[in-house]
Amino acid sequence: MTEIQTPLNLAAIRADFPILDQDIRPGVPLMYLDNAATSQKPLAVIEAMDAYYRRYNSNVHRGIHKLSDEATNAYEDARKRIGKFINAASFREVIYTRNTTESINLVAFTWGRANLKAGDVVLSTEMEHHSNIVPWQMLAAEKGIEVRYIPVTDEGELDMKAFKEMLDERVKLVTVMHMSNVLGAIQPVREMADAAHAAGALILIDGAQSVPHMPVDVQALDCDFFVFSAHKMLGPTGIGILYGKRALLEAMPPFMGGGDMIKRVELSGSQWNELPYKFEAGTPAIAEAVGLGAAVDYLSKIGIENIHAHEQAITAYALERLAEVPGIRVLGPADAAQRGGLAAMTLEGAHPHDIAEVLNYHGVAVRAGHHCAMPLHQRFRIPASTRASFYLYNTFEEIDGLIESLYKVKETLKA
């Protein structure tokens, strides 16, 4: 039996998330286990965004008046704190985007379009989210590049031997998710970065599932691009980050054209603004940047190491208890130490959506489907899976609730 131990004060943390304190119907409390889809927001984030709209809503980088000045300062100060959170060398390397997906598309359609030519290879993986497959397929159709996929082993890990064999001189970019949103597997991205660089390729790391849950140091990882979304890390929807090494970003053409991304516009042509503004055309998501800044502050206050330790403990407990339920098969590495805080599963004789439906009836919110990773599900020859994913506010009692509800699922669906 796993020892139930956490460095977090869960009662205090849960008090910061008013949404968690509700019944989905009378007498049935909500157990929110869908954090890999999106996280809940603490009062600190909600109040920071509320304060922006109540007290200093204004456009940034524009007006010569007090509110605009305050809004610009808040927007830029958030960028600096976000940069520190991932240990970027400069705020100029931290680009605001809409989300992880847009960050990857930005790299594909600026760096990729400018630097890749027919015959070049982008090396992705079988476990990627669609957002790290489709932009490269679109670029392949446009430029005649080739997208190849590093296979996943039967154990649910990236096949590192195959990766090294596939890394030939045609490969110009390796693009990989730090933590799988289905398998939970954490990839050895530093080792992959070194191998990519030795082969003359760049590396892009999709950190959508890692930054919210574990310490990330982009300089220590030596990655060229690192992308993530605010909404999975206690922040609002509608804002994400592209980190890139400064020299690369400097050399890249802009993504979208418009206001704020230019230094000078003449009818005959324009001159681009300096970093990071070159990539931020138009009025940005200001309240959302303020919200993400508050989210990063909150995560830092609790301690991302503590959050990671809590999730490791709760995941180990969940894996142990799930193994007790007949017919349940958990995807991904068996060892909790190699995983992030989620468990995607199948139950013999029951469709994942039916499982999620009955779990919902008992208050447990999970996600069912292919989790935007259809190729990965095809690789394991399953149409879909049911995923429970954890965060800093989840309790061991909620894992017990999940297990009890899974037995009710078996009863209801006669599985």
Q: Which residues are catalytic?
A: 372
Task: Name which of 36 and 368 has its Cβ closer to another protein.
Answer: 368
Task: Decide if 377 contacts 370 (C-beta within 8 A).
Answer: yes
Task: List the one residue from 61, 246, 370, 408 that touches another protein (CB under 8 A).
Answer: 370
CB of 367 to another protein, least distance (A): 11
Task: List the one residue from 44, 357, 379, 408 that touches another protein (CB under 8 A).
Answer: 357
Task: Name which of 296 and 373 has its Cβ closer to another protein.
Answer: 373
Residues 329-348 that bind another protein (CB under 8 A): none
Is residue 29 near another protein by the rule CB under 8 A? no
DSSP 373: -
Q: Under 8 Å CB-to-CB from 343, ≥6 apart: which residues?
A: 184, 315, 318, 319, 322, 330, 331, 332, 387, 388, 389
Is residue 159 near another protein by the rule CB under 8 A? no
CB of 377 to another protein, least distance (A): 8
Is residue 365 near another protein by the rule CB under 8 A? no
Residue written as token pair 């004789």: 349
Task: Name which of 46 and 415 has its Cβ closer to another protein.
Answer: 415
CB of 383 to another protein, least distance (A): 5
- How is residue 280 written in tokens? 């931020």
Is residue 407 near another protein by the rule CB under 8 A? no
Residues 172-191 that bind another protein (CB under 8 A): none
Is residue 264 near another protein by the rule CB under 8 A? no
Strands (E), 14-56: 23-25, 28-29, 31-32
Is residue 170 near another protein by the rule CB under 8 A? no
Task: Name which of 14 and 367 has its Cβ closer to another protein.
Answer: 367
Could you give the CA distance from residue 339 to residue 330 in angstroms, rounded to a whole number?
Answer: 12
Task: List the one residue from 168, 251, 383, 407 that touches another protein (CB under 8 A).
Answer: 383
Task: List the one residue from 55, 335, 353, 397 that touches another protein (CB under 8 A).
Answer: 353
Task: Name which of 203 and 356 has its Cβ closer to another protein.
Answer: 356
Could you give the CA distance from residue 262 to residue 281 in angstroms, rounded to a whole number?
Answer: 8
Task: Name which of 66 and 353 has its Cβ closer to another protein.
Answer: 353
Task: List the one residue from 369, 375, 396, 403 that touches another protein (CB under 8 A).
Answer: 369
CB of 358 to another protein, least distance (A): 8
Backbone angles phi, psi at 134, to 5 degrees: -65, -45
Per the DSSP assignment, residues forming a β-bridge with 142 are: none
Task: Decide if 239 contacts 285 (C-beta within 8 A).
Answer: yes
Three-state DSSP at 161 gives helix
CB of 27 to another protein, least distance (A): 16
Is residue 413 near another protein by the rule CB under 8 A? yes
Residue 360 burial by Cβ neighbours in a 10 Å radius (0-12, 13-18, 19+)? middle
Could you give the CA distance from residue 291 to residue 262 in angstroms, rounded to a whole number?
Answer: 26
Could you give the CA distance from residue 207 to residue 205 in angstroms, rounded to a whole number?
Answer: 6
CB of 197 to another protein, least distance (A): 38
Task: Name which of 40 and 386 has its Cβ closer to another protein.
Answer: 386
The H or E element containing residue 92 is none
Could you give the CA distance from residue 95 to residue 111 in angstroms, rounded to a whole number?
Answer: 14
CB of 370 to another protein, least distance (A): 6
CB of 408 to another protein, least distance (A): 12
DSSP 61: S
- How is residue 311 written in tokens? 């999730």
Cα 192 to the chain's mean position, in Å? 19
Is residue 412 near another protein by the rule CB under 8 A? yes
CA angle 261/262/265 to nearest 5° reads 145
User: Exposed e or buried b for every residue in 33-62, given b needs 16+ CB within 10 A?
Assistant: bbbbbbbbbbebbbebbeebeeebebbbbe
- Contact map string, positions 292 to 331, toward another protein, x by CB under 8 A: ----------------------------------------
The size of the interface with another protein (CB under 8 A), counted in residues, is 15
Is residue 38 near another protein by the rule CB under 8 A? no
Could you give the CA distance from residue 228 to residue 206 in angstroms, rounded to a whole number?
Answer: 6
Task: Name which of 244 and 352 has its Cβ closer to another protein.
Answer: 352
Binding site residues, another protein, CB under 8 A: 351-354, 357, 360, 368-370, 374, 383-384, 412-414
